[in-house]
A and B are shown apart, each in its own frame.
Chain A
Amino acid sequence: MTDVLPSPRHAARVVGRNALVFSKLWKGALLPQFLDPLFYLLALGFGLGTYVATINGQDYRDFLAPGLIASAAMWSAAFECTYNVYFRMNETRLYDAILATPVEVQDLVAGDLTWSAIRSTIYGTVFLVVVTAFGLIHSPWAILLPPLVALGGLCMSVIAYTFTALIPRIDLYSYFFTLGITPMFLFSGIFFPFDELPGFAEVIAWFTPLYHSVEISRAMATGPGPMVLVHAAWLIAVTAALFVVPVRAVRRRLVA
């Protein structure tokens, strides 16, 4: 167990490094990513939404906006824990350097995941502010959304990190994004509800982290019920259960 449980002190140092890099890059290279969900909101909410006025009595824009907060976090986590981690681990070999310091594999993975969750929360919260400005948030509970966005981001991060730790080649990400992330984005209840669809659709969606993030987000935007706790528990459980996989895989890869 001692080689799986991270030392928070050492993990925090990895978070610090990643945050430093982000603080240098966000104004330039990362700015477009902030606009991504805005385009979906404009095209679908204000474009398509003009024709689809309401869903189950809820204004379509109000229905759509919270889901896009969750997906903004998901996209951030998906990129951070795929390409960014892959480059640091395999291309620039930065992890070899970090692991030659008192930081151990489990601290490194925990630090990267924590950072990715923070980064997701930044993207999610920025978009929360945007949609609030558009008048699409109707519950003060939404102020509690950022930590819950972090939870979704963390869960997504550990899944992406696991994939990264296991793939031998960078080109395999096309499977991850085309068969994993994109369908999840489209079919996790961001754009349409499951009510009128066959039952299996929601069952499948239930197994994806984004579905739970979207449900939490929508609930917090309108007034939450106890189901929020169930969704949060799902995200925590999956994250905790999966964490050991990238730790073991990265160790096998870098400290053979």
Chain B
Amino acid sequence: MVARSLVKSYGERVAVDGIDFEVEPATCFGFLGPNGAGKTTTMKMIYGLATVGRGELSVLGLDARTKRRQIKSRLGVVPQETNLDGQVTVLENLLVQASYFGIERQTAEARARELLDFSRLADRSAEQITSLSGGMKRRLLVARALVNEPEMVVLDEPTTGLDPQARLAVWRSLETLKRRGVTLLLTTHYMEEAARLCDRLVIMDEGSIVAEGEPGALVREHVGREVLELRVSDECDAEELVASVDGRLEGHDFTEDALMLYAPDAEELLEAIDHERYPTESALVRRATLEDVFLRLTGRSLRE
């Protein structure tokens, strides 16, 4: 899949502002970014629920402008909103989905049973959608996206709103898919999720791509190895504190209530700080994560 100078505007508002990316088959590619960064719009252009504005978008080697039906027949989609068919049962959701793809009834039936097993929903097959928990609905959405044995699955925030167990279950099924050679395209704002699943990812902000790479490389490149997170007291001059240890730092950020110091060895950095002169309320030493990259690149203040 290739996007070149892809632009999408809604009236005055530019949702996607000239992005380029390429996705290799059988890999997991992630789109990270705050709400309103243009991730969902990009996904929708890929799976045909938004028209391509300007630029080029080729999905599975087909032009997304003109070959929508062909693309969609080879794609699986897990949308951000749960839009299961509430008027039919769990099993029928899969059978009806199969019918949209023109899959013959017997094949559909067998595949649906198999997918319910895969999603651990077999014992729920005759139930109504309303009786499912949030995690089960998500698993069913994933199962639904697989009915047509897609070559690529597009997932828009597949685990938003799930508890940790349910999230883990979704992750496991996505990892299984990846092993089977299915290309995954995923948006998320959970850094953990991106780090675990994605081979490559882009970080989007205000319609543009601000960074691209492998999760680990991105962390090393933009943040470093470790982070010392300090909550400084009111009487402490944070600017001066930063200046006093400047030689040891790979970078720093001020947030509303904390000071982030990036260094190869955060423990050592903590010891090097003159705590008499610069009193702190709390200090946390941790490994740098994608979250730090994300926040460094997209800013720490709340959006919207």
A residues adjacent to B (C-beta < 8 A): 9-10, 13-14, 16-17, 20-21, 24-25, 92-94, 96-104, 254-256
Contact = CB atoms under 8 A, between A and B. Distances in A.
B77 A100 contact: yes
B97 interface: yes
Nearest to A255: B49
Listed from nearest, the 8 A-B pairs whose CB atoms lie closest are A101-B100, A93-B83, A100-B77, A97-B83, A21-B87, A102-B73, A102-B69, A13-B99
A105 B96 CA distance: 17
B234 to A, nearest CB: 49
A102 B101 contact: yes
A100 B79 contact: yes
Given A101-B72, A101-B100, A103-B100, A92 B86 contact: yes
Among A92, A102, A254, the most chain B Cβ lie within 10 Å of the Cβ of A102
A17 B85 contact: yes
B102 interface: yes
17 contacts: A17-B96, A21-B87, A93-B81, A94-B83, A96-B49, A96-B81, A97-B84, A97-B85, A97-B144, A100-B49, A100-B77, A101-B73, A101-B100, A102-B102, A104-B69, A254-B49, A255-B51
B73 to A, nearest CB: 5
B88 interface: yes
B55 to A, nearest CB: 17
A92 B81 CA distance: 9
Nearest to B68: A104
A99 B86 CA distance: 17
Given A254-B49, A256-B10, A96 B83 contact: yes
Interface residues of B, number: 29
A24 B89 CA distance: 11
A173 B64 CA distance: 37
A27 to B, nearest CB: 14
Nearest to A17: B96
B79 A20 contact: no
Given A20-B96, A102-B102, A255-B48, 15 more contacts: A17-B96, A17-B99, A25-B87, A92-B85, A97-B83, A97-B97, A97-B144, A99-B48, A100-B72, A101-B148, A102-B73, A104-B69, A255-B51, A256-B10, A256-B50
Contact of B97 (A92, A99, A101): A101
Contacts of A255: 48-51
Contacts of A16: 96, 99
Given A100-B77, A255-B48, A13 B100 contact: yes
B243 to A, nearest CB: 51
A20 B88 contact: yes
Among A16, A25, A256, the most chain B Cβ lie within 10 Å of the Cβ of A256
Contacts of B206: none
Contacts of B101: 101-102
B81 to A, nearest CB: 5
B291 interface: no
Contact of B102 (A13, A17, A92, A93): A13
Interface string B130-141: 000000000000
Contact of B83 (A9, A92, A256): A92
Interface string B51-90: 1000000000000000011001101010101011111100
B92 interface: yes
Given A101-B101, A102-B72, A24 B87 contact: yes
A92 B10 CA distance: 24
Contacts of B10: 256
Nearest to A84: B87
Given A102-B69, A103-B100, A254-B49, A96 B79 contact: yes
A97 B79 contact: yes
A16 to B, nearest CB: 6
A96 B44 CA distance: 10
A25 B97 CA distance: 20
A176 to B, nearest CB: 23
